[in-house]
Structure 1
Amino acid sequence: MNTQSNKLRDLIHCGIFAAITAVLAQIEIPLPLVPISGQTLAVGLAATILGSRKGALSMVCYVLLGTVGLPVFAGATAGVPILLGPTGGYLFSFIIIAYLTGFYLEKTSFTLPQAMIANTIAMFVSLLLGTVWLKYVMGLSWVAAIAAGVTPFIIPGLIKAFLASWIGINVRKRLITANIMQEYKASA
């Protein structure tokens, strides 16, 4: 396959994961400031399946779609006010954690144990970044920010980290076997 075909295929993969994130964002449990949603599951899937650059690019696409007004964020919301509101830190963290998760897997191996480590670390990074943002945007104390932005998300986050790892590694293997995606080769 030529380089242009590979680039087009990569862009299609990124677009698909931006769309998957938009769909999973609508699966939510409302909480006062920040809902529990399927977004972080989608981020973990994107990174585990696509790797660092394409996983992060898919999240850039997702955030841009919401920024320009498509209702892709949790609760079918969109726009700059959402990005500047209580959930903005979590949304921006998706780009970072997709890159970090994929990078970790590229430097170690695309296996279930490594994916669990990567997705669990990513969950805590997202909670950290989102909670810092939440604290400053809402003017909360650290105790209140942690109570609203971390505590309710630990158990669901660990479950989503496991699901993203297990589903992601299995789907990745199948996509490579079907020649729909190329195996990542670390550069020397």
Structure 2
Amino acid sequence: MKESRIRRNVLIAVMAAVICILGPLSIPIGPVPVTLTNFAIYITMYVLGTRDGAIAYLLYMLIGLAGLPVFSGFTGGPAKLLGPTGGYLIGFLPMALIAGAVIVKAGRKPVLSVIGMFAATWVPYLLGTAWLAYSAHMTFGAAFGVGVAPFLVEDFCKMVAAAVVGPLLYSALSSAGLLQVSAQRR
């Protein structure tokens, strides 16, 4: 029992570290950069399931809020949440919960998982657009034009990539005995 709890906590920490490593990698193309944060979250949901995946994302957020440079462009601190992209960062938590629930419920099947990820991604799109519009004094339409529209195809490609890599990683970790059977249902 204690060993399985330790294994679970280690896996959560490892996946939080994966988000911390991929999250800062970004290409600035305007007020909202291209990042790998959502891709890392999708992969985390495949590996850990809904609850533990959300915990991994919360750890990432806490690490970033503490000031470590894990947010896009190797930034950190509370100012990032108050800046133009803060709504997207906050919106990633409900996205993770929804995407994780669909991925697990769909048995990690790629097509259903991509549909779930696509639907879930509209939460940070909408929250992020609203916050970007407010913080940058833009209309919602203008914020959508710079904060979502340029990312639709790229984000869909990340979802498809996660639907390919996620099940492979999950299978490999399961075969190695690193995942608990109960994680398959979460």
Cα distance, 1:141 vs. partner?
A: 0.3
Are 1:83 and 2:64 an aligned pair?
no
Runs ≥4 residues deviating over 4 A: none
Aligned in 2, Cα 1:66/1:117: closer, same or farther, shift over 3 Å? same
Q: Percent identity?
A: 32
TM-score (norm 2): 0.93
Residue 146 of structure 1 corresponds to: 144
The letter of the residue matching 2:96 is A
1:132 corresponds in structure 2 to 130
Is the 1:48–1:101 Cα contact (8 Å) retained in structure 2? no
Residue 186 (structure 1) shift: 4.2
Q: Which consecutive residues of structure 2, in runs of 5 or more, have no partner in the other structure? A: none
Question: Which residue of 1 is the match for residue 115 of structure 2?
Answer: 117
Deviations 1:120-171 (A, max 9, x none): 2222222122112211222210121111111111011001111111101111
Cα offsets for 1:9-39 (capped at 9, x unmatched): 1221111111111211232110221101111
Query: 1:150 is aligned with what amino acid?
Result: V
User: TM-score normalised to the size of structure 1?
Assistant: 0.92
Ranges in structure 1 where 5+ consecutive residues have no aligned partner: none
- How many angstroms does 1:5 deviate by? 1.9
- Which residue of 52, 65, 86 maps to 1:67? 65
CA distance in 2, matches of 1:185, 1:12: 17
Q: Contact conserved, 2:4 with 2:180, CA < 8 A, in 1? A: no
Aligned match of 1:51: 49
Partner in structure 2 of residue 105 of structure 1:
103
Question: Do the aligned residues in 2 keep the contact of 1:51 with 1:101 (CA within 8 Å)?
Answer: no
Deviations 1:77-107, CA, capped at 9 Å, x for gaps: 0000001111111111222111111111232
In structure 2, which of residues 19, 34, 37 is the aligned counterpart of residue 36 of structure 1? 34
